[in-house]
Amino acid sequence: MRVVSIVGARPQFIKVAPVSRRLREVAEDLLVHTGQHYDRNMSDVFFDELDIPPPDLNLEVGSGSHGVQTARMLEGIEEVLLQHRPDWTIVYGDTNSTLAGALAAAKLGIRVAHVEAGLRSGNRAMPEEINRIVTDHVANLLLCPTSGAVEHLAREGIAQGVRLVGDVMVDMLRSVQPKLGAEHLPSMGVNSPYYAATLHRAENVDSPQNLGRALALMAAIPGEVIIPVHPRTRTSMDRFGLSWPNNVLPVDPLGYVPMLTLVNHAKAVFTDSGGLQKESVLLGTRCITLRQETEWPETLEGGWNYLVGLDADKMLGALSRDLTSDGVSGFGDGRAADRIVAELLGASS
Ligand code: UD1
- DSSP codes joined into one string, 102-140: HHHHHHTT-EEEEETTT---S-TTSHHHHHHHHHHHH-S
* Residue 90 DSSP code: E
Q: Beta strands 287-289 and 269-271: pairing type? A: parallel
* Residue 229 DSSP code: P
Q: Ligand 1: list residues with CB < 6 Å.
A: 9-11, 36-39, 42, 63, 94-96, 127-128, 200, 230-232, 235
- If we measure between CA atoms, which residue out of 226, 199, 228, 201 comes closest to residue 215? 199
**Measured CA distances, 60 to 185, 279, 328 (Å):** 34, 29, 39
pLDDT of residue 349: 73
Q: Please return the burial class of 249, using the count of CB atoms within 10 Å of its CB with bins 0-12, 13-18 and 19+.
A: middle
pLDDT of residue 348: 79
Global pTM value: 0.97
How far does the centroid of ligand 1 lie from the alpha carbon of residue 309, in Å?
21
Mutation probe of ligand 1 site: the residue of 41, 61, 63, 92 with most atoms within 8 A of C-beta:
63
Q: What is the pLDDT of residues 8-53, one digit of tens each?
A: 999 999 999 999 999 999 999 999 999 999 999 999 999 999 999 9
Please list the ranges in the chain whose pLDDT falls under 50: none
Catalytic pick from 114, 200, 230, 265? 200
**Measured CA distances, 344 to 73, 169, 194, 279 (Å):** 24, 19, 43, 26
Q: What is the pLDDT of residues 179-191, one digit of tens each?
A: 999 999 999 889 8
How far does the centroid of ligand 1 lie from the alpha carbon of residue 96, in Å?
9
Mean pLDDT computed over every residue of the chain: 97
